Amino acid sequence: MKSKKVKELMNWLEKRTRGIDLPRDYSEGEVFALIEIAELESEESEKLDLKVEEFKNKH
């Protein structure tokens, strides 16, 4: 995966919700949000930072 932000956010989510060192399952909403962030990053959109903050506030 080329997206650095998505990898960063997936690690961030895993660290926040880690239980007994089990891999984390991502919900459909989280996956769609991560895909949107990856697309914004590939387009070098100005909205990227806003979406990342939105994602972090939501989760």
For 1-58, write each residue's pLDDT tens digit.
578 888 888 888 877 765 665 556 777 788 889 889 999 999 999 999 999 999 999 8
**Local structure of residue 47 (DSSP, 8 states):** T
Ramachandran region, residue 44 (left: φ > 0; alpha: ψ -120 to 50; beta: rest) = left
Chain-centroid distance of CA 1 in Å reads 13
With a CB cutoff of 8 Å and minimum separation 6, the contacts of 55 are: 9, 33, 34, 37
pTM of the model: 0.68
Dihedral, CA atoms, 38, 40, 41, 45, nearest 10 degrees? Answer: 180
